[in-house]
Amino acid sequence: MKKTKGFIATVLLLILVFGTLSVGSVFAERVVTVTINGEVIEFDEPARLIDQRTMVPMRKIYETLGAEVQWVGEIELIIATFETNVISMEIGQKSFGITDLLTGETKIIELDVPPQVVGEGTTLVPVRAISEALGKNVDWDDATSTVIITDKNS
């Protein structure tokens, strides 16, 4: 009887220890790296996965990709100008528009995860949607959790 109680106590202790470790690893945030034409981009607020989408700080990614950015705080609107295109995104909206200033045509892009504000007011946007809207190629290296952005002509 004593051996059985000791065995049960040991098994319960192992379940508790290993159960806690596995739960902790499930909730550990995955570190995501972003490169543009081979250069690692450093963000003040880290890139992160939200609902299986890589979200990055808006201003840093837009400016690094060559766009001019405006933030209209009163209506939580992001406006980015890149070459002859104007991109407009609104916080919490699952779509955004790209207007070609030469033709006046607007293309609507659907998003799985909308732009959102986190932390001390950092706006996160989906990196693939933004990069492709600016005419860039986007790849994902799952082994290193790296978003690889390159120019279309690279």
Q: Would you list the domain boundaries of the chain?
A: 31-151
CA distances from 69 to 27, 66, 72 (A): 34, 10, 10
> CATH for 31-151?
3.30.457.10
Q: Are 89 and 115 in contact (CB under 8 A)?
A: yes
Closest by CA position to 80, among listed 57, 13, 89, 39: 89
pLDDT in tens, 71-114: 999 999 999 999 999 999 999 999 999 999 999 999 999 999 99
pTM for this model (two decimals): 0.74
